Amino acid sequence: MLKYVIRRLLVMIPVLLGVTVLITLLINLSPGDPARAALGAQADAQAVANLRQEIGLDQPVYIRYIEWVAGVLQGDLGTSIVTGEPVNQMIMERLPATLELSIVAIAITFVIALPLGVISAVRQYTWMDTGSMVFAIFWLSMPSFWLGLILILLFSVELGITPISGRSGTIFTVEWLSYLALPAFAIGARRAGLLTRLTRSSMLEIINEEYIRTAKGKGIGGRAVIYTHAMKNAMIPIATLVGLQIPMVLSGSVIIEYVFSWPGIGRLLVDSVSRRDYPVVQGIVLVYAVIVLFANLIVDIAYTQFDPRVTYD
């Protein structure tokens, strides 16, 4: 296992380099001048030229990239062109909010999808099965940003149950949850639609296996068979999907954070792109890539807990 983890960590290095090269090329090929965006449209040409020279925009792209990578290796993600703040500090201030939102959204996905998927498989072709699949298709086809706007209109504007936007309160308090509930549900509900369908299909395949019929024939209770035998084996493809869903949750949080004015790195990314704040964009994309890679590594390791036959040499 240790050798496998080390190999995976080594493989992450070229992947991260590829991600940084790609985002560097994209942001430098995009229209707009960061110096002009920082100083404003009324700034004279000389001031813009001076700022470009000061922040190194007069140098070739590959030189700027090499200098940025050298800084990253020393733990320095650069300095914001717009605010002059260290990118490390800007990200660390907002990263907890994004992690809170993403973790709660994934938890909502599990809480909704796993029971519905299991019930749908066990009660195949009944009204429960039909209702679960209608639910799954409905949420899967609904864009998260549109759902977020509907939730704001219903629960915040009309009913006044939750705040419209922002983040406040100490973690795990009622106030904190009131701000977090809507954006987390907007992200988690759509992911739950896909996971419900996969859980159903995975459970249907497992409960028709010979060993499940044998367990039932020995007199083992139906719930024990489902949750002790079938569920554990069905978790392999579900865990795979969860690993694939993590980047989708993070990308979904970018829009949802903007819709709900949630002060995470997703909202910071949108603002930085609009302001052509290249160092901040590069730093946030790098952080997202690291989170996704480590999350997928954890999912791969989790396979060994669901199926002892899965080993890594």
Decide if 313 is inside a domain: no
Q: What Å distances lie between residue 40 and 85, 267, 275, CA to CA?
A: 18, 21, 10
What domain count does the chain have? 2
Q: What is the pTM of this model?
A: 0.80
What is the domain range of residue 9? Answer: 2-73
Whether 182 and 49 map to the same domain: the answer is no
Decide if 198 is inside a domain: yes
Decide if 231 is inside a domain: yes
Whether 127 and 17 map to the same domain: the answer is no
Decide if 79 is inside a domain: no
Per the CB < 8 A criterion, the answer to whether 110 and 189 are in contact is no
Whether 50 and 107 map to the same domain: the answer is no
Whether 115 and 263 map to the same domain: the answer is yes
Whether 26 and 159 map to the same domain: the answer is no
Among candidate residues 145, 119, 141, the one with its CA nearest the CA of residue 132: 119
Tokens of 99: 């992690």
Residue with structure tokens 């939750």? 162
Q: Which residues pair with 79 in a beta bridge?
A: 86
Q: Which of helix, strand or coil describes residue 179?
A: helix
Whether 121 and 235 map to the same domain: the answer is yes
Decide if 170 is inside a domain: yes
How confident is the model at residue 309, as a pLDDT? 59
Residue 194 belongs to a domain with what CATH number? Answer: 1.10.3720.10
How confident is the model at residue 80, as a pLDDT? 86
Mean pLDDT per 10-residue interval, the chain, length 313 residues: 78 88 84 73 76 77 86 87 87 89 87 85 84 84 84 88 82 85 88 83 76 64 64 70 72 83 88 85 89 81 65 61
How confident is the model at residue 123, as a pLDDT? 82
Whether 123 and 198 map to the same domain: the answer is yes
Q: Which of helix, strand or coil describes residue 129?
A: helix
Whether 280 and 170 map to the same domain: the answer is yes
Whether 64 and 168 map to the same domain: the answer is no
Whether 247 and 180 map to the same domain: the answer is yes
Q: Give backbone dihedrals phi and psi of 15, rounded to 5 degrees, phi first.
A: -65, -45
Whether 36 and 152 map to the same domain: the answer is no
Decide if 82 is inside a domain: no
Q: Give the C-alpha separation, 78 to 58, whole Å.
A: 17
How confident is the model at residue 114, as a pLDDT? 84
Decide if 85 is inside a domain: no
How confident is the model at residue 212, as a pLDDT? 66
Whether 69 and 101 map to the same domain: the answer is no
Decide if 86 is inside a domain: no
How confident is the model at residue 224, as a pLDDT? 63
How confident is the model at residue 222, as a pLDDT? 61
